[in-house]
Amino acid sequence: MKPPLLEVRNLRIEFPTRRGTLLAVDDISFSIAPGEVLGVVGESGAGKSLTGAAVIGLLEPPGRIARGEVKLDGLRIDNLPPDEMRKVRGREIGAIFQDPLTSLNPLYTVGQQLVETITTHLHMSAQQARARAIELLAATGIPAPERRIDHYPHQFSGGMRQRVVIALALAAEPKLVIADEPTTALDVSIQAQIITLLKTLCREKRTAVMLITHDMGVIAETADRVAVMYAGRIVEIGPVADVIHRPQHPYTAGLMGSIPSMEHESERLTQIEGSMPRLTEIPPGCAFHPRCDRAFDRCRRERPELLPAGASQAACWLHDAGGGRLAA
Amino acid sequence: MSAALRPAGAAFAAGEVIVKAEGVSKYFDVSPPWLNRVLERKPRTILRAVDDVSFEIRRGETLSLVGESGCGKSTVARVLVGLYAPTHGRVEFFGRDLAEVNTAAGRALRQKLQMIFQDPYASLNPRWRVAEIIAEPLKAHGLMKDPAQIAARVDELLGLVRLSPADKVKYPHQFSGGQRQRISIARALATHPEFLVCDEPTSALDVSVQAQVLNLMKDLQRELGLTYLFISHNLAVVHHISDRVGVMYLGRIVELAPKRSLFATPRHPYTRMLLDAIPDLDMTGRARTPVAGEVPNPLNPPPGCTFHPRCPHADERCRREAPVLKVHRRIGEDVQVACHAVEEDRIG
């Protein structure tokens, strides 16, 4: 197996508050191979966006990495000073966020923003950078890029703006792109265009992608592997087809059942009772046990770690063959 | 109590048409201010948010309207509950003109029709307790005066939406998104409505919570015999909840058909395009055909069929003449499509 491009080990993100410290992400580990697309799914508040922010060093204070490490190409990047991290961000890791309007500066033309990114990270003259910017816009499918390059963000439609953001993220040919809900703000027909574009561009350049979304459909179409998060932890991680068709964790199974299907008709959707606990009220043992209909005594006492389950790994005691084995 | 609003002799049995929109249009004047128009010679600009839309809803059924943002689906919802007056056309509700709703005599009519909004964070007053929120329609309509009676009704409503009576002393911020949406549903049900307009009721919710709310809405429909107009951009949700579906594009309904027929054999090229665009959970790795182009600016829609610039089947007639939504004999009585290509049998 190839060495991973990104390796996250025992990452823990805390928010100190007046009423004690909140654990937003609790001891998660995963890796992404070069050219691989890892999907990260979960409901709002599961900690998926924070994980992405921690990887690119954009965690907003008071949030902080309390423990663990983030390695890119074998080098730790979580403890880099801000100046060093700025060089990694954009050059090594690109970012695409949900709302293209907030990730573009409204006062500069898209050309100025692209040229700035390119000249910051690559050794290019302004002319070369402009030529490259036009190339990038053309690659993202923006019609008449030589003219559009001098337009301001507000002159683009939502879908076109997200294309510009993708061009920006890929400008310095990073090895990894963090895409946080890249299609959520877009209409269905545009979503399909953007996902296809992201997939093609990253496959061509062998860019690895961490695709954060709550939309299982997008994951199914794009990701190689998928990590399912619940209450700050990864509850299941595995190849995308396995997680979708043979979910091993009761939460994943419930999540999959709650998505209305277009293929077959059902009178009722699978319903997971209750909702994800607030960070202040995470129950002991397995965080999912109060909502789980297969919970038994051990689930209430001990917290499960990721255990091998089919082709995936699931943090669930149902997969503990030894039965009495304690968490490692 | 419903006897009062029914026209004499007209009993509305199950399956009877209770809502009828006829040629409803809603235009918004988005012109620059008068002085700018005079000095800069700018013309008046009219946004045709909804343009000549007609449909009927029968008792006990769910009609959904789907479309991308800006297609006018929410405007239709607002016209239907009387929040906007239609520019042209009329809406009939139980055989009476909806314009009456805003008169004193329309009070009884108004109770029969309620709305559930998209954002459960914005549609509940954060300073009110749940009991006050749910009791407000009862008081506003003067249905109940006795506090004990009101309290009992509030408990009953909370039970209906599977919340506990103990929740009524809490404030909205103490609830999750899904629970808040249940509170809005309880409030909407307070006046014993028969027709609910639901404007994207689950799009602000996570999937597992969305499943709870959709299940609840289906249960309530069965228990209380409700009729829904369901507005959504999510085709999977629409597939789950509807009996009939109308697809909207730039203010017009382009296809109106029973759910099964629409999803199995979509007729209008735009419907086909929308169905093609949905990420598919069952076919991992399939390359889907991305939809070309974007929705044009509604201020300046293309002439003829507004979909023609994105349509692979467009010809000269489509660029010139706007198609009308109608039944095509070849397809069957229950499907209406607005497309020249379908009419001329150019596409299957």
Check if A271 contacts B (Cβ < 8 Å): yes
pLDDT at position B348, please? 65
pLDDT at position B3, please? 41
Find the residue in B nearest to A270 (Cα). Answer: B211
**Span B238-245, average pLDDT:** 94
Residue type, B288: R
Strand B252-258 versus strand B336-337 pairing type: antiparallel
Residue type, B330: R
Give A326→chain B minimum CA distance, Å. Answer: 31
With contacts defined as CB-CB under 8 Å, which chain A residues touch B285?
221, 241
With contacts defined as CB-CB under 8 Å, which chain A residues touch B280?
217, 220-221, 262
**Span B281-296, average pLDDT:** 64
pLDDT at position B283, please? 55
Classified as helix, coil or strand, A250 is helix
With contacts defined as CB-CB under 8 Å, which chain A residues touch B207?
43, 214, 216, 255, 258-259
User: Which class does domain A35-60+81-223 fall in?
Assistant: alpha beta
Q: What is the DSSP string of A259-311?
A: SPPSSS--SS-----S-PPPGGGPPSSSTTGGG-TT--HHHHHSPPPPEEETT
Give A224→chain B minimum CA distance, Å. Answer: 9
In sequence order, what E strands does chain B have?
17-29, 46-58, 62-66, 88-93, 96-97, 113-116, 195-199, 227-232, 244-249, 252-258, 326-327, 336-337
- Chain-centre distance of CA A75, in angstroms? 21
| pLDDT digits 0-9 by tens, A75-105 | 999 889 989 998 899 889 999 988 877 889 9
Give A101→chain B minimum CA distance, Å. Answer: 17
The CA distance from B84 to B76, in Å, is: 9
Complex prediction ipTM: 0.80
| pLDDT digits 0-9 by tens, B105-163 | 777 888 889 999 888 888 999 999 999 999 999 998 888 889 999 999 999 999 999 99
Give B211→chain A minimum CA distance, Å. Answer: 5
Distance set, CA A157 to CA A161, A191, A194, A199, B205 (Å) = 6, 13, 13, 21, 26
Token pair of B254, please? 């382009």
Instruction: Report the residue from A159, A195, A240 with minimal CB separation from B294.
Output: A159
The CA distance from A47 to A52, in Å, is: 9
The CA distance from A258 to B211, in Å, is: 5
Give B215→chain A minimum CA distance, Å. Answer: 6
With beta carbons less than 8 A apart as the criterion, state whether B169 and B130 touch.
yes
The CA distance from A225 to B284, in Å, is: 12
Find the residue in B nearest to A277 (Cα). Answer: B176
pLDDT at position B157, please? 94
pLDDT tops 50 at residue B208: yes
The DSSP code for A28 is E
Find the residue in B nearest to A269 (Cα). Answer: B211
Distance set, CA A249 to CA A246, A327, B95 (Å) = 9, 17, 53
Check if A43 contacts B (Cβ < 8 Å): yes
Q: What is the DSSP string of B15-39?
A: T-EEEEEEEEEEEEE-PPPHHHHHH
The CA distance from A111 to A142, in Å, is: 13
Q: For chain A, which residues make up each domain, given as ranges?
A: 35-60+81-223, 250-261+268-319
pLDDT at position B106, please? 77
Instruction: Give Dmax (Cα) for chain A.
Output: 67
Distance set, CA B315 to CA B250, B294, B299 (Å) = 19, 19, 23
pLDDT at position B286, please? 52
Token pair of A236, please? 């299941």
Q: What is the mean pLDDT of chain B?
A: 87
Check if A155 contacts B (Cβ < 8 Å): no
Find the residue in A nearest to B260 (Cα). Answer: A265
The CA distance from A41 to B311, in Å, is: 34
pLDDT at position B282, please? 66
Find the residue in B nearest to A196 (Cα). Answer: B290
Check if A241 contacts B (Cβ < 8 Å): yes
pLDDT at position B77, please? 93
With beta carbons less than 8 A apart as the criterion, state whether B161 and B133 touch.
no
Per-residue pLDDT tens listing for chain A (328 residues): 567 999 999 999 999 988 888 899 999 999 999 999 999 999 888 999 999 999 999 888 888 999 999 999 999 998 899 899 988 998 899 999 888 778 899 999 999 999 999 999 988 999 999 999 999 999 888 888 999 999 999 988 888 898 899 999 999 889 999 999 988 877 777 888 888 888 888 888 899 999 999 888 889 888 999 999 999 999 999 999 999 999 999 999 999 989 888 777 777 888 888 888 888 888 999 999 999 989 999 999 999 999 998 889 999 999 987 544 333 3
| pLDDT digits 0-9 by tens, B30-72 | 888 888 888 888 888 888 999 999 999 999 999 999 988 888 9
The CA distance from A190 to B310, in Å, is: 13
Give A274→chain B minimum CA distance, Å. Answer: 8
User: Is the previous residue joined to A290 through a cis bond, with omega within 30 degrees of 0?
Assistant: no
Contact B288 A214 (CB under 8 A): no
Residue type, B267: R
Check if A264 contacts B (Cβ < 8 Å): no
Instruction: Report the residue from A188, A255, A261 with minimal CB separation from B208.
Output: A255
